[in-house]
Structure 1
């Protein structure tokens, strides 16, 4: 039935969830002596099927794929017309603020914007990094960026965004990321080595190190990192 082109796509796609939820309902009857109504079962089938295809949508190759660059020790520029945004969350513990930062550069290494902020109540670094991704994407969309690469040295976050169903503990935050990507013409996520992500790391570290908890968005790069940004540009 799933291969029959005469069957509507939505119906064909729902077949695995029909089988799965019938099985779950069977177990509820046998082991919990409860039974879900047909109406709720049909509703759950549709919702779970739509959520799965939303989270695992196959995007056009030119929109989401670039050769993996995480083996490079130095910062590499994006393709022409694309902004590369390096991000970092400086998480220390669940009881402290986390410093977060992003810096956006073009194909020539010129900095268009950078931003810094502090967040609270992040139980672990994974949550802090995903919140940093959400913040960066929101900011970039607000300033009119349409094609962007998000680069981080925390590769688990990049993996989670690409396969969200394998990270059920963070599914709510990952759904927010996916929703935000729909606002761009092109979004890609890349892993970086820490040496290639040093500028974003230092900006994020300055939040706790220097007590700079006031958020800001600025054009260009921070003056105290000017020399390093210039070297990476060259």
Structure 2
């Protein structure tokens, strides 16, 4: 029986430990999102020792933020868990989710192991704001944008969902792309496509939300973003006629509806592009739950 040593997640390179932890597209994107400084010549493709040596130096470097330093071991662990989840259960996990889970678990561990434990009252409103969808002001709509990317050889999916102050879904859309080289490129494409959709629907006051910190930073600070410059300039041009707009990055938990729609392209091969009034019926329970539990945008 023939055995394949190609990475089971991306089918691009041999499945070495270095590849799984650092160079498989999902792992690589997770490290980019983390903003952990990399060596000038990049991470080693062949030496786990050199890469771990660099990460250990980062952990001990007090010039790097404490929260960022603390999360490094958990990022490695979550990347490895994501690989096993795909291999053994066929379930994919993306970079934003891996990073968010690593940061959450690292924070919980360090909080639980503090020498001095301080008990503070729980602010339920703050917790909801961090975990759940947040409704926009009364005269503004919110457009949540999401994407699902596997590799440059596979179809990838994007989706947007636009809701009003009451959490009512006004409309939503889904489409697939082919031959997109990176997750970041797809994230930028998804924002551009969403902006164009909002303009065609004649929404003029919009809050855009995406889990892609890099894509959002690119739109807000294009001169500091060396990639996808043409796409970003097209986004800015499309935003200019709007009466009011805002774009911000959010946690995965606040983007569940759009993400599940985008995921339907890569997980269940729903490649048909469409735009529809209201929300998809198969997500009505989640949509209603988010509408009832949402708090106002601060």
Q: Where does residue 7 of structure 1 map in the other structure?
A: none
In the alignment, structure 1 residue 120 sits paired with structure 2 residue 182: no
Unaligned runs of 5+ in 2: 1-126, 293-298
CA distance in 2, matches of 1:121, 1:164: 24
C-alpha separation between the residues in 1 aligned to 2:141 and 2:154? 31
Shift of 1:99: 0.5
Aligned to 2:225: 167
How many residue pairs get matched? 166
| Cα distance in 2 for residues equivalent to 1:72 and 1:203 | 21
Map 1:134-213 to 2 at 5 A.
134-213=192-271
Normalised TM-score (structure 2): 0.54
Give secondary structure in 2 for the equivalent of 1:169: coil
Distance in 1 (alpha carbons) for counterparts of 2:130 and 2:214: 18
| Whole-Å separation in 2 of the counterparts to 1:169 and 1:114 | 28
> What do residues 71-111 of structure 1 show as CA deviations (whole Å, max 9, x unaligned)?
71111000111110001110111111110000000111010
2: distance between equivalents of 1:158 and 1:205? 20
What CA distance in whole angstroms lies between the structure 2 residues aligned with 1:87 and 1:121?
20
Of 275, 279, 286, the residue aligned with 1:228 is 286
TM-score normalised over the length of structure 1: 0.69
Using the TM superposition, give the Cα deviation of residue 188 of structure 1 relative to its aligned residue in structure 2, in angstroms: 0.5
Task: State the 4+ residue runs in structure 1 displaced beyond 6 angstroms.
Answer: none
Give secondary structure in 1 for the equivalent of 2:176.
strand
Query: Paired residue for 1:215, among 273, 283, 290?
Result: 273
Instruction: Quote the Cα distance in structure 2 between the aligned partners of 1:175 and 1:90.
Output: 23
Distance across 1 between alignment mates of 2:160 and 2:192: 11
Report matched runs for 1:101-112 at 5 Å.
101-112=159-170
Deviation at 1:167, TM superposition (A): 1.2
Distance 1:161 1:182 in 2: 12
Structural RMSD (CA): 1.5
Q: Is the contact made by 2:150 and 2:266 (CA closer than 8 Å) also made in structure 1?
A: no
Q: Output aligned runs, 1:44-63, within 5 Å.
A: none
Structure number, greater radius of gyration: 1
RCO greater where, 1 or 2, for CA within 8 Å and sep 6 or more?
Answer: 1
**Aligned pair 1:75/2:140, yes or no?**
no
